[in-house]
Amino acid sequence: MALSDAPRAPAEAARAARTPAARLRRLSIRDVVLIDALDIDFAPGLNVLTGETGAGKSILLDALGLTLGAKAGPHLVRPGAQRGVAAAAFLVPPDHPAAYRLAELGIGDAGAIEGREPFELILRRVVPVDGRARAFVDDQPVGLATLRALGADLVDIHGQGEDRAVSDARGRRAALDAYAGIGDAVSDLRRRHAAWREAAAKADSVAASLSKADADRDFLAHAVSELSDAAPTSGEETRLEAERRRLKAAERIAGAVDDAARAAAAAGGSGALGAAARRLARALDRLEIGEADLADDDRAALDAALAALDQCLESVEAAAGAVSAAAERFAPDADALEAAEARLFQLRALARKHRVTMDDLPALAERLSADLATLEDGAARQAAAEAAAARAAALYREAARAISTRREAAAAAFDAEIARELPDLRLARAAFRTQVSPSDDPADAGPEGVDRVAFLAAFNPGAAPAPVEKTASGGELSRLLLALKVALAQPGSASLGPILVFDEIDRGVGGAAADAVGRRLQRLALAGGGRAPDDPPRGQAIVVTHAPQIAARADRHWRIEKRVVAEQETRTDVTQLDPEARREEVARMLAGAEVTDAARAAAADLIGAAAP
């Protein structure tokens, strides 16, 4: 399958075209560091935060960072409060990547991507003074990873030590990919990498199974034969136990019946009743031969007694017969009992040997038989698994090579875009180069390809290019980062268009260089990622700055001040400035502690000249 034919995941499909701009509508802060309660309504365009050093400008960005998944801790809770809360309300276009991510996660209105109007999305973080911080998206609890993923879709923060696009290997590669517009190809590569890893894992599993089975061949053959001869069946233990109990009960009953039969025999014709009957019979015989002369009544009494004994003898004989029949019925079956006990012993011995229950023996027999059968066709299965892994690896490498080619081609154009920005940023002598180095190390074959992307720069003539993160000063790095962002926002670039947040990106620069930084920030905020400069603001940038040249270009301006409200209690206040107060703040930034009329005039000129 060609890269251009690769199916796109929903989120990647949204990223393939220029991403519509989301914007931050409101930041609400409760009991965070020095802020007790604050609501800031941001606008499209360039939003600027200014104030004296230490006034607490970074607290606002810390609060915003909390809503995006930054590290939280009790140190962020205002002294005396039980918890700190930060919430950010965003206006999100229906086809923004964040909307697709919400739909994929099943959060909020999953049908938002089908709508035509932007929708509001609220990210909230609650930080208790004791306990773990909690995250919410539209009041639905979420994990920190989900919050961070949504935050990355919406906001791109650049501050001191946070310039991932320069300092982080994946950030550099992502920046180049964004400029090249190869999000769909990279998405396809990720799928191919996952398929390769899955096929390789299956091949390893088959090989390990074969190796173990081969080492246990003799054991398997013996065990399978033994279990096959035993032929255990499901539920056999229960049946054998019941049969054994029945046979043992029959054995006990047979003993009792035998005793009854002997008693009946002792009482019958050969016992006491028989002897009594014989004696009466002899007495009658003597009467017959005239040994005694008795009355007729006497003779009748003897006849009656003899008749009664005869009747008793008949009943006893009948009872003895019944008892004998019962004894025959309950005659113990020693062979059957022995067979049941032998079978139980055999199966229990097998269960102990294989460390399973008797009921598990049938499944064990099937599994061991399958393992033994695996040895018969194991070579063919292993070859098939290895061939599948090799095919998946080849498909991955093919796609990775194609992406490497596209990255190398895009790198040259990317460098040219950045080079055009450097002179105005007072980096005219700097040389910048994007280095794409495909790696042959299998360990470097990752979901995004095999390329190592480095940003190299030389800031002095004759100096050898070196990694930017190691050679650039703070000011140089800031301006270079801004050039990179401007290059990503050029018309025709397929770069993402998140909200841009800069924390003192003007550090280390001033004068004309600061003005150049301001113009580019204004361009980024107005363009919203590549739109025409004469369009109304569609993008959004939020900047913390000490440079009046940047503050003068703000579409909306806030001043941050620190004040003491009680002994050992300090608060940070944030005030949105009207035109007059804004001119006064820019004049303060120009003049310092004492604001003069000349500074006010200069501030008015600066603000007027900065209008887009």
Asked whether the predicted pLDDT for residue 274 surpasses 70, the reply is no
Dist CA 415 CA 335 (whole Å): 95
Query: Would strands 499-503 and 155-158 be described as parallel, antiparallel, or unpaired?
Result: parallel
Mean pLDDT, rounded, for 187-191: 90
pLDDT value for 110: 47
Q: What is the side-by-side order of every strand in the sheet holding 83-92?
A: 35-41, 23-32, 83-92, 119-128, 134-137, 140-142
Residue 55 — very low, low, confident or very high, per pLDDT cuts 50/70/90? low
Q: What is the pLDDT of residues 229-239, one digit of tens each?
A: 888 888 887 88
* Residues whose CB falls within 8 Å of the CB of residue 111, separated by 6 or more in sequence, listed in order: 103
- pLDDT > 70 in the chain, percent: 77
Query: Which amino acid type is present at position 385?
Result: A
Residue 327 — very low, low, confident or very high, per pLDDT cuts 50/70/90? low
| Of 243 and 38, more confident | 38
Mean pLDDT, rounded, for 303-322: 73
Q: What is the pLDDT of residues 452-511, one digit of tens each?
A: 999 998 888 878 888 887 887 766 777 788 888 888 876 544 444 578 888 877 776 677
Q: What is the pLDDT of residues 366-399, one digit of tens each?
A: 888 887 776 767 778 888 999 999 999 999 999 9
pLDDT value for 3: 33
Dist CA 515 CA 549 (whole Å): 5
Lowest mean pLDDT, pick from 75-79, 89-93, 258-262, 344-348? 258-262
Q: What is the pLDDT of residues 59-97, one digit of tens each?
A: 888 899 999 998 888 989 988 899 999 999 999 887 777
For the ranges 172-176, 197-201, 521-525, the maximum mean pLDDT occurs at: 197-201
Contact (CB, 8 A) for 606 and 549: yes
Cβ burial 20-52 (10 Å sphere, 16+ → b, else e): bbbbbbebbbbbbbbbeebebebbbbbbbbbbe
Asked whether the predicted pLDDT for residue 222 surpasses 90, the reply is no
| Of 538 and 558, more confident | 558
Across the chain, mean pLDDT equals 79
pTM more than 0.85: no
Contact (CB, 8 A) for 451 and 441: no
| Of 409 and 288, more confident | 409
Q: Determine the length of the chain.
A: 612
Dist CA 536 CA 526 (whole Å): 7
pLDDT value for 162: 54
Asked whether the predicted pLDDT for residue 140 surpasses 70, the reply is yes
Dist CA 142 CA 189 (whole Å): 29
User: Which sign does the torsion angle of CA 231, 233, 237, 240 carry?
Assistant: negative
Asked whether the predicted pLDDT for residue 406 surpasses 90, the reply is yes
In the three-class reduction of DSSP (H, G, I as helix; E, B as strand; rest coil), residue 156 is classed as: strand
pLDDT value for 527: 59
pLDDT value for 255: 63
pLDDT value for 468: 85
pLDDT value for 568: 67
Query: Which amino acid type is present at position 374?
Result: T
Count helices and strands (H / E) in the chain: 19, 15
* Residues whose CB falls within 8 Å of the CB of residue 154, separated by 6 or more in sequence, listed in order: 22, 24, 68, 90, 92, 98, 121, 123, 498, 499
Q: What is the pLDDT of residues 539-582, one digit of tens each?
A: 788 988 888 989 999 999 999 888 877 666 778 888 899 999 99
| Of 329 and 193, more confident | 193
Contact (CB, 8 A) for 24 and 42: yes
| Of 74 and 252, more confident | 74
Task: Give the torsion through C-alpha atoms of 130, 131, 132, 135, to 10 deg.
Answer: -80
Q: What is the pLDDT of residues 506-516, one digit of tens each?
A: 776 677 778 88
Contact (CB, 8 A) for 412 and 405: no
Residue 9 — very low, low, confident or very high, per pLDDT cuts 50/70/90? very low
* Residues whose CB falls within 8 Å of the CB of residue 285, separated by 6 or more in sequence, listed in order: none
pLDDT value for 103: 81
Asked whether the predicted pLDDT for residue 359 surpasses 80, the reply is yes
